[in-house]
Each structure stands twice: as C-alpha cells, then as structure tokens.
C-alpha cells in the first residue's frame, strides 16, 4: 500500500496515512484516461452554434429575370448560396454532443489518474482546512507554506464555507468535494491536495465495490470446484453428463416395404404373357 505523510497548514508532519491499493495504486491506462477526457469535454459542449440556410435569410422569392435571352447566368432567387447575403450550405446547426460512458470506465480512469499523481509525488494530504474567517490572504499564505505554487486542486467537504469563500477569487486553485472530482480537473491541475476525510470518501466511492466484487468472484471460484481427496489424490467431482438421444438407423423402427402396383402398358404385357 502507498503511504503518504499528513501535514498541517504549517507544513509540519503530524502522521501518515495508508492509501488503498485499489484506488491509489492502479496501473496507468492512457487510452482509458483519453477516452474519459474526451467524454467530459464533449458533455461540456453547449452545441448552440448555428448558421442560416436559404430559408432563414431575408430576400424575395421571385425569379429576378427570365431564364433565357438576357445573356446573364440563370438565377432562381436572391437567397441562393451563390449570392452575397444568401444562405449557408451544410453549416453547423444546434445539436447535442454529449454521450454516455460506462460507469466502470469512468471510475477506472479516475483510479488510474489518482494512482499516477501518487507515483509522481504530487499528492498532499492535509489534516484539515480550518480558517477563522474567509480571507483570501490567509488562504494564499497557507498555499505558500505548503509549497503549492502552481495550479492546485483541493478535495474537501463543501460544508467548509470559509475555505470556499477564501479560494473562489483565486484562479490557480479549485475546491471540489469527493463526488465532484472529475478526470479533467485531475489532469489540468499540477498538485492534488486531499483532506483525511476526502481520502476515506474516495476509497469508499472508487474502491469498495470493486474490492467486494473481487472477493465475491474468488469465493464463487472456490465454491465452484468441489474437490475430494481419495487415496491421497485430489479428484474434482463433476456432474454426470446426460445421455444424448441417438438417432441412428438401428434405433429407428423398420418400415415395411410396400409393393408398387404396376399400371398401364406394363401391366397389360404381363397379363398377356
């Protein structure tokens, strides 16, 4: 299990915490992370871009001049895409860009990104963010004390109003809770700061179901093999196979051969003979 030291706001070590292997020690899966980022960015698109087709622009619908005899090119309407001020052909229209991604894939991408941040050494666990009053100056000073200079993502409870109000005016820092953690913020911010409560919540959200499923699969695999020791040998007992019904010629009942009656000229020749 990976171990991370716990610091207070004065950057003093107050202990250490063991992180779950299922959540913070998963292998790196770049294609899965890439798919999760594409899904997040596609779901964030508004899809409101639009252009006007020839039926939306203003202009008369009459034919400007006759088809032949003028020497000019033929034309049907001023709203044609060939004319200035006409409609746009095959332009973008409002649409929904969002699509669903399986929950297992989303959680797997989060586990992979969290584990990579731990291996890089960019995860800091703090004892707690306790401010007497909301003040951005105190929050910036605490970041400088912890050595957080770049873009920082802080995962803590949203009930901490003093922390939220202190950090909302700072562009390089973002506050989210365990449920609001997403793959894009994990990759965009260089440092990840977790509270001890956030560590426990992430392990419960991302690791408990998977671990219970693995244990259930192991128990099922053990129960499926019914073994017995006979004369010092390990014998695996299996259900007897059903006797299949055979459809061989010997099993089918014999049919009586019916004599075919002769008719026509052949019968007459036989009677004459």
What is the residue whose two structure tokens read 């007897």? 240
Retrieve residue 265's tokens. 């000229």
Query: How far separated are the first and last CA of the chain, in Å rounded?
Result: 106
Q: Which residues contact 53 (CB under 8 A, 6 or more apart)?
A: 87, 88, 89, 91
- Give φ, ψ of 111 to 5 degrees: -65, -40
Of 157 and 268, which is predicted with more confidence? 157
Retrieve residue 176's tokens. 């989210």
| 26 touches 180 (CB < 8 A) | no
Domain boundaries, the chain: 3-28+104-206
Superfamily of domain 3-28+104-206: Ribosomal protein L4/L1 (3.40.1370.10)
Order the strands of the 191-195 sheet from edge to edge. 13-18, 3-7, 123-126, 191-195, 152-155, 173-176
d(CA 137, CA 75): 69
pLDDT class for 219, splitting at 50, 70, 90?
A: very low
Q: pLDDT tens digit string along 11-69? A: 888 888 888 888 988 999 999 999 999 999 999 999 999 999 988 899 888 888 999 99
**pLDDT of res. 231:** 41
Compute the chain's Rg from CA coordinates.
38
């Amino acid at each position: 299990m990976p171990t991370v030291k716990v610091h207070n706001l004065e950057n003093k070590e107050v202990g250490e915490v063991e992180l779950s292997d299922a959540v913070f020690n998963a292998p790196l899966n770049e294609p899965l992370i890439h798919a999760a980022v594409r899904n997040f960015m596609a779901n964030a698109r508004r899809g409101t871009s639009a252009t006007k087709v020839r039926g939306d622009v203003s202009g008369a619908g009459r034919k400007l001049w006759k088809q032949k005899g003028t020497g000019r090119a033929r034309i049907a309407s001023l709203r044609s895409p060939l004319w200035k001020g006409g409609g746009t052909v095959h332009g973008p229209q409002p649409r929904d860009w969002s699509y669903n991604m399986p929950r297992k894939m989303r959680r797997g991408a989060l586990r992979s990104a969290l584990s990579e941040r731990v291996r890089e050494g960019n995860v800091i666990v703090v004892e707690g963010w306790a401010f007497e009053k909301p003040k951005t100056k105190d929050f910036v000073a605490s970041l400088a004390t912890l050595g957080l200079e770049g873009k920082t993502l802080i995962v803590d409870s949203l009930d901490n109003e003093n922390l939220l109000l202190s950090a909302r005016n700072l562009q390089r820092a973002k506050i989210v809770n365990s449920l609001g953690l997403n793959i894009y913020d994990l990759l965009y911010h260089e440092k990840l700061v977790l509270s001890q409560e956030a560590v426990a919540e992430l392990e419960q959200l991302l690791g408990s179901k998977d671990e219970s499923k693995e244990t259930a699969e192991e128990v099922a695999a053990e129960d499926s093999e019914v073994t017995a020791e006979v004369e010092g040998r390990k014998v695996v007992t299996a259900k007897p196979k059903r006797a299949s019904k055979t459809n061989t010629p010997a099993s089918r009942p014999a049919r009586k051969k019916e004599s075919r009656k002769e008719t026509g000229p052949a019968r007459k020749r036989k009677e004459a003979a």
